[in-house]
Amino acid sequence: MSKINSIRKGCKDVFNAFLVAFAVYAGFFEFPVIKACYEIPNRLIAFSKCISCRDYNYWVHFYEDDYLFERLWRNPKKYLPILQRYNGVILPDFSLYRDMPLVMQLWNIYRSRAIGCWLQMNGVKVIPNVRFGDHRTYKCCCDGLPKKSVISVGSHGTLKLLTDRDIFAKGLDIVVKRLQPVAIIVYGSDPKSIFKKYSDMGIEIYHFTSDYGNAMNSLKGVI
């Protein structure tokens, strides 16, 4: 059986097939498998800021606008040495908007997993980030992710509207049931109405205020 997405001799690798040259795949859509991680980040720094930072005692996250880290997909090898300096990386958080065609949502899940798989192959510690769009992605968003591991979710921008909050809560319920995480890293708000039941189950919840939240808190202190 030939390799999935293998590199073809004489062809320019426009799909970054090298990222998954040694990958194992899981699920109907064959997402690259991510190995378990059991470490908890001490501090988080956004990818766009980590490039110029000289303090490497952080975990790098991608909970920011896609245009700020799309360059990692375009040229992963350029940024590998930078990411290797840090404590670890949370999987890239490519957007999954509900008004996206399903194929685009699946493509962004794939891209995140492909980068994460390659980073692990190159010795970078990786915490799985679980992102889902609409209900169609609920069943497949966990494919290839480890059970009983540390996972991360981004809640920033997903809780303000009741519809968004409901979709986030239902999706997270499915994720927890399928992956049975030992700990959840939450970037953004962690309302008790959503996360307390997981704490009651014995799952550790580690909350990191978003950069936007930190900026708003700073403004409150000035006013």
Question: Quick one: average pLDDT of 5-19?
Answer: 80
Question: Is residue 184 pLDDT above 80, yes or no?
Answer: yes
Closest residue by Cα to residue 130 from 151, 155, 116, 102: 151
Flag whether 172 is in a domain: yes
Reported as a pLDDT band with limits 50, 70 and 90, residue 209 is very high
pLDDT in tens, 43-82: 999 999 999 999 999 999 999 999 999 999 999 999 999 9
Mean pLDDT estimate for the chain: 92
Q: What is the pLDDT of residue 157?
A: 78
Closest residue by Cα to residue 37 from 170, 129, 101, 100: 129
Flag whether 12 is in a domain: no
Contacts of 97 (CB under 8 A, 6+ apart): 105, 133
Flag whether 52 is in a domain: yes
pLDDT in tens, 93-136: 999 998 999 999 999 999 999 999 999 999 999 999 999 988 99
Task: Output DSSP code: residue 129.
Answer: B
Question: Is residue 26 pLDDT above 50, yes or no?
Answer: yes
**How many domains in the chain?**
1
Flag whether 186 is in a domain: yes
Question: Quick one: average pLDDT of 180-193?
Answer: 96
- The pTM assigned to this predicted structure is 0.91
Half-sphere exposure of 102 (CA within 13 A, CB side): 9
Q: How far apart are CA 5 and CA 117, in angstroms?
A: 14
Flag whether 41 is in a domain: yes
Edge to edge, the sheet with strand 44-46 lists 44-46, 59-61, 88-90, 126-127
Give φ, ψ of 153 to 5 degrees. Answer: -135, 150
Flag whether 58 is in a domain: yes
Flag whether 2 is in a domain: no
Cα-Cα-Cα-Cα dihedral sign, residues 209, 214, 216, 219: positive
Which residues constitute the domain of residue 82?
17-222
Cα dihedral angle (139, 143, 146, 151), rounded to 10 degrees? Answer: -60
Most distant CA atoms of the chain, gap in Å: 65
Cα-Cα-Cα-Cα dihedral sign, residues 120, 20, 128, 79: positive
Q: How far apart are CA 16 and CA 156, in angstroms?
A: 29
Flag whether 6 is in a domain: no
The residue type found at 151 is: I
